[in-house]
Structure 1
């Protein structure tokens, strides 16, 4: 007799089963790759193929599984862009965007480990947005700063109005209010807090382009700008 097929058991939700806020958070984002997917989506909606390209080392099966888990957990949604794009993209929910402070704190904690770049390390320009966000957090002028590194460009939104929205994005800005050109090493030093942006500009290792108020505040530095208001 053919063996009767048993009904599939429903997948059990992975959990630490601990009544602890940290454990509950890790139930949602503790799996490998999840927080790095959040890092990518913090820069805006992305297609599956783009996510896979900017997450070197993740398999297609794991990426698809993590995205499903994020949808089920209310961290991300999948939607279709209107024509002419007509492509499906993933984007963070408000709940998912709430992980920004977690990622910036994690980037600050991990920055000293970037003292030496290994030959096998992949790199993308927008990965340096997280270390720089803390340095630009005190800027009072609302606008967009285009950051230019050897690896490419990304852009950061400044000002209190951006706290609940998208704070950085891929590639050059459409209409930047200021441009910041510096090396990766200088960006990391600023992100670690080893030097301020104003010091980097003064020492000639960072260049601010632009004549508007945001460019002037970048040259002066967030702290100096607050003191002169």
Structure 2
């Protein structure tokens, strides 16, 4: 009976992998077909090195746009950071986040004794993966193009200085996936990747975060300003 159970577990795991592959392919097709998303590698090129992609955040679909722009070999090594509160709200969301995107699901408000989001991200980098993060800390639904950055990016730069910090601007995403909607509105979306940011010696946290924010804003297309 134990042998039967092990076979069943293997078959079940195989089915999950197949389903994740199918869903991933479907989401990739939808992202490209519905939004026409295209990458603009303005200050760097896609390379198989460890990176922290840090971007503006206006929609739940943001990391999907970045993910869709990466070559497949980089997608497999890059984990988007996302909030547990949203992605654990249903079994389907949890499956998509954990099995399709390999997302690092964080508790935004950890209890005493639980690892902080920065600790979890640092451990993921220590394990060798790259990250997609949104330093604003929440979706920006206001008029400002970019909210002030939280301190997590600074701490990651301190703890993992060899990881490249790549600024990213996602354009048109709010109109592609309006707030509260799941179905994309057909519209061209661009994802601009800038030159990796290097933390300067003796640079203060506030100065670094301000410079990182400006690096993202500098990628914003002129027609969107």
Common fold: TM-score over 0.5 = no
Larger radius of gyration: 1
With CA pairs under 8 Å and 6+ residues apart, which has the higher RCO, 1 or 2? 2
